[in-house]
Each structure stands twice: as structure tokens, then as C-alpha cells.
């Protein structure tokens, strides 16, 4: 909502909904600030950069995960977690960090982007991805690193941070999504359709009327169908619904990019797989578990008019994790590229660049 590792690196990591941190709770850090004022001068992305190192991480069960490192090899460690699930990383994601200050790790999560096998649903759960993040940290020898994630990336960032509190130096999350049933129902069954009735018709088009009472299940049948044409039709409809609703102002280019068949098939299949399984979480797990984040310096960034991941979830996270600073983007929807959202993300990475 896009090489070898040390033996046994991930075998003892927590799995499934029980993966909660065992780290002791410290004293509260004090309340964070809540900001909605739009800055007069907005920050933008850092200049384009290329990786200084990249490879494929064999994580077992047939999966190989693409990773890359950018910026300063001796800089502060940071990891970026992309959205979707199934979205993959883009060159723009590298540019959220000062390349002189950070050593930035990016990776394509299982089954998407340059990772293999493409669009695979086997051994592909939230807790597999949490293990993969930890494997990358171990591989690069980092004691701790800054974690930044938006949309589904915020989900994964919260899950990782709650499972591995001691490994997170700071946590920045944007477009908060916790894969609770009411969040999913809002976007894929009711609610958002009232705001985008024309685009909702396109989303409904592949699904017969008699199956529209449970659209995620109806899409699951088509996204796993033996006929490739059926899979692609469903994947494009699913993906373009998201691509056409995530910005406050229409962006036809973005919507069309979501419709690319190769991108769409991984994006839609993996998203749907996670969502029909409630993200592989216990009910309300990430909000309840936010109390474990109290000692992690944090920033929450949320578009006020986000339709894909409505602001209520971000506010609930703020109430459960009041020590984090909360930045409203009062003129934005969901996409990280919207100017005020981007500004607050860059401000956050700059602020933490020189902290231990």
C-alpha cells in the first residue's frame, strides 16, 4: 500500500504473530511534538546516486532477495522498506537520505522487483520479511540502523522494530498502515469507493456481481488462476485502483505505471496474499505493540487526505507511541512524493544523520 549470508543467520529469529520484542521497557522519553504547519520552503530529494555495492541474498526456500547499498560506505547505517507489499524499490528511494552522511541499504522484498522468484507467494509472510531484514543487518555487520518505511513499509518497519527493538537506532514511518480488518475493508470493500466512484467501477469490472460481497477473496481466485490472461486482468485492475487513488491531485502517469503487467502481477498477487491473511498479524498487534517503541527516537508523517491509509490509523499510532514526533501533511494524500510529505521525511533523515 512497490550473495551468501552467514550460516544460521535467521534460524533463531521470532516468527508469526508472537514476534514481539522481549527488550525491557525503559522510562518514557517524553511526549513528541505534533506539527501541521506547512513549511514556507519545502525540501526535496537529494541528487540521484548509484549503488556502490549490490547482490542477491539467498534467504532459503528458493527465495533470493535483491539488495543494494548506496551513499557513504562508512556513514550511518539506514535501511529503507518499500511499500506494497510487492512494490519494490526505485532509484528515488535512495534519495531520501544525505548520501554523504548515510550508508543506505535498500532491498526488494520477496517476490517483487529484482528478487526471485517473481510474484511468488510461497514462504512469503511478514515474518519472513522481518527475518530478511535481520539477515541483511547481520550480513553488513551493523549493531543498529535507522529504519524508514512508508505505507506497507511502515507496517514492516513497525513489525521489525517491535521484534528487534535493540537493533533500531531511529524509526521513521509514513502513511501508517497496520493491516487491520477495518483498514482493508475501507479501501477494498467500502469507504474509499465513495470518494472515487468512477475508478471504483474499474476496480469492480473483473468481478461478477455475485462475488462482490468479498472483493479480496474474489480477487485472490483470479490472481492465482491458472490462466495468465485472467491473472493479468485482475492484477492490472487491482494495481491501477491504488495507483489512481494515492495522490491528492490526479497523476495519470503514476496510475499507468501501476498498470505495467510485470509490476502489477507481483504487486497485486503479493498484496492480496498478505491482505486476505490480515498481514499475518494478531488483531491490533502493531498498535498494541507500539508501547515497546518508547525508547526509540521516532517520526510519524501522515497525509491528512490519505485515502489508501486514512489518518485515523496514524493518530492511533501516535496515541500508542506519543514519544514520536508527528507531522501532518495538510495538503497531501498518500504518496511519499507529495511535496509536504517528502519535506518532512527529508527533515527527519537529516535530523538523525549525526546522532549515534
Q: 306, 318, 325, 343: which one is catalytic?
A: 306
User: What are the φ/ψ torsions at residue 326 (nearest 5 degrees)?
Assistant: -120, 125
| 67 lies in the same domain as 158 | yes
Any domain includes 112: yes
Q: 151, 154, 169, 193: which one is catalytic?
A: 151
What b/e string do you get for 60-96 counting C-beta neighbours within 10 Å, with b at 16 or more?
Answer: eeebbbbbbbbbbeebbbbbbbbbbbbbbbeeebbbb
**Which CATH number belongs to the domain containing residue 145 in this structure?**
3.40.50.1820
| 44 lies in the same domain as 160 | yes
Any domain includes 157: yes
User: From the CB of residue 217, how many other CB atoms can be counted at a distance below 10 Å?
Assistant: 12
| Environment class of 338 (CB within 10 Å of its CB; exposed 0-12, middle 13-18, buried 19+) | buried
What b/e string do you get for 5-36 counting C-beta neighbours within 10 Å, with b at 16 or more?
Answer: beeebbeebbeebebbbeeeeeeeeeebeebe
| 175 lies in the same domain as 304 | yes
How many independent structural domains does the chain possess? 2
Any domain includes 27: no
Pick the last residue of a domain from 251, 278, 305: 278
Helix, strand, coil proportions of the chain in percent (round to 5)?
Answer: 40, 15, 45
251 is catalytic: no
151 is catalytic: yes
Pick the last residue of a domain from 229, 263, 278: 278
pLDDT at 1 (0 to 100): 72
| 70 lies in the same domain as 194 | no
Any domain includes 95: yes
| 170 lies in the same domain as 62 | yes
| 264 lies in the same domain as 294 | no
Element containing residue 35 per DSSP (H, E) = strand 34-35
| 270 lies in the same domain as 314 | no
Q: 82, 93, 164, 334: which one is catalytic?
A: 334
Residue 297's domain comprises 34-179+281-354
Pick the last residue of a domain from 278, 298, 316: 278
| 167 lies in the same domain as 205 | no
pTM for the full model?
Answer: 0.92
Any domain includes 57: yes
198 is catalytic: no
Q: CA 341, CA 332: separation in Å to the nearest integer?
A: 7
| 261 lies in the same domain as 207 | yes
10-residue averages of pLDDT along the chain (356 residues) = 34 33 48 93 97 98 98 98 97 98 98 98 98 98 98 98 98 98 97 96 98 98 98 98 95 90 97 98 98 97 98 98 98 96 98 93
| 87 lies in the same domain as 171 | yes
pLDDT at 356 (0 to 100): 83
Amino acid at each position: 500500500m512497490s550473495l551468501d549470508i552467514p550460516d544460521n543467520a535467521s534460524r533463531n529469529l521470532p516468527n508469526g504473530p508472537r514476534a514481539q520484542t522481549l527488550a525491557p521497557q525503559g522510562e518514557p522519553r517524553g511526549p513528541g511534538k505534533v506539527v501541521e504547519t506547512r513549511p514556507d520552503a519545502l525540501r526535496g530529494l537529494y541528487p540521484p546516486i548509484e549503488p556502490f555495492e549490490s547482490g542477491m541474498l539467498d534467504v532459503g526456500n528458493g527465495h533470493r532477495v535483491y539488495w543494494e547499498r548506496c551513499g557513504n560506505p562508512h556513514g550511518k547505517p539506514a535501511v529503507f522498506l518499500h511499500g506494497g507489499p510487492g512494490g519494490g524499490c526505485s532509484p528515488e528511494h535512495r534519495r531520501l537520505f544525505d548520501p554523504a552522511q548515510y550508508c543506505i541499504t535498500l532491498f526488494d522484498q520477496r517476490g517483487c522487483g529484482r528478487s526471485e522468484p517473481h510474484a511468488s507467494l510461497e514462504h512469503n509472510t511478514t515474518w519472513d520479511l522481518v527475518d530478511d531484514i535481520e539477515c541483511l543487518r547481520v550480513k553488513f555487520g551493523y549493531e543498529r540502523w535507522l529504519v524508514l518505511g512508508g505505507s506497507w513499509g511502515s507496517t514492516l518497519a513497525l513489525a521489525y522494530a517491535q521484534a528487534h527493538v535493540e537493533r533500531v537506532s531511529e524509526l521513521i514511518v509514513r502513511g501508517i498502515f497496520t493491516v487491520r480488518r477495518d483498514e482493508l475493508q475501507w479501501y477494498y470493500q467500502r469507504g474509499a469507493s465513495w470518494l472515487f466512484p468512477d475508478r471504483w467501477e474499474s476496480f469492480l469490472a473483473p468481478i461478477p456481481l455475485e462475488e462482490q460481497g468479498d472483493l479480496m477473496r474474489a480477487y485472490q481466485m483470479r490472481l492465482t488462476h491458472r490462466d495468465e490472461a485472467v491473472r493479468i486482468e485482475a492484477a492490472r485492475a487491482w494495481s491501477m485502483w491504488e495507483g489512481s487513488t494515492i495522490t491528492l491531485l490526479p497523476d495519470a502517469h503514476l496510475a499507468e505505471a501501476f498498470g505495467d503487467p510485470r509490476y502489477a502481477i507481483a504487486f497485486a498477487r503479493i498484496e492480496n496474499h498478505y491482505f486476505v491473511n490480515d498481514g499475518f498479524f494478531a488483531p491490533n498487534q502493531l498498535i498494541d505493540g507500539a508501547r515497546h517503541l518508547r525508547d526509540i527516537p521516532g517520526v510519524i508523517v501522515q497525509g491528512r487526505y490519505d485515502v489508501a491509509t486514512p489518518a485515523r490509523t496514524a493518530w492511533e499510532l501516535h496515541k500508542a507511541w506519543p514519544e514520536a514526533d508527528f507531522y501532518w501533511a495538510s495538503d497531501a494524500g498518500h504518496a511519499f512524493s507529495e511535496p509536504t510529505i517528502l519535506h518532512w521525511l527529508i527533515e527527519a533523515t537529516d535530523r538523525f544523520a549525526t546522532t549515534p
